[in-house]
Amino acid sequence: MTTIVIGSRASNLAKAQVRAFLAPLRERFPEVSFAHRVILEAGDRDRRSPLPGVSAVNGGSAFSSEQEAALARGDVDAVVHSLKDLPTANPPGLVLLPPPGREDVRDALCGSTLAGLRQGARVGTGAPRRIAQLLAVRPDLELVPIRGNVPPRLKKIETMGLDAVVLAVAGLRRLGLEGSVGEILPLDLFPPSPGQGALGIQVREDNAVAREILSTTGDLAVDAHVRAERALLAELHGGCSVPVGAYAESRPDGQLSLTAQVTSLNGTERVSGTLAGSSAEPEKLGAALATELIGQGARSILDAVRSADRDQLS
Residue of 129, 204, 227, 270 marked catalytic: 129
Q: Is 284 annotated as catalytic?
A: no
Q: Is 130 annotated as catalytic?
A: yes
Q: Is 110 annotated as catalytic?
A: no
Residue of 9, 44, 77, 85 marked catalytic: 85
Q: What element of type H or E holds 144?
A: strand 142-144
CB-side neighbour CA atoms (13 Å) of 249: 12
Residue of 9, 102, 153, 174 marked catalytic: 153
Residue of 102, 147, 204, 230 marked catalytic: 147
DSSP state of 301: H
Q: What is the DSSP string of 108-136?
A: EEESS-TTTSPTT-EEE---HHHHHHHHH
Alpha carbon distance 288, 285 (integer Å): 5
**Which is nearest to 202 in space by CA: 53, 49, 47, 61?**
61
Q: Is 240 annotated as catalytic?
A: yes
Backbone φ, ψ for residue 285 (5° rounding): -65, -45
Residue of 9, 106, 130, 270 marked catalytic: 130
Q: Is 85 annotated as catalytic?
A: yes
In the chain, count H helices and then E strands.
10, 13
- Residue 199 DSSP SS3: strand
Amino acid at 152: P
Amino acid at 257: S
Residues 6+ apart with CB under 8 A from 35: 3, 4, 5, 6
- Say how many residues make up the chain: 314
Cα-only R_g, the chain: 19
Q: Is 206 annotated as catalytic?
A: no
Backbone φ, ψ for residue 242 (5° rounding): -120, 150
Residue of 84, 106, 230, 270 marked catalytic: 84
Classify residue 53 by burial, with Cβ atoms within 10 Å: 0-12, 13-18, 19+.
buried
**Which is nearest to 41 in space by CA: 51, 30, 32?**
51
Positions annotated as catalytic residues are 84-85, 129-130, 147, 153, 240
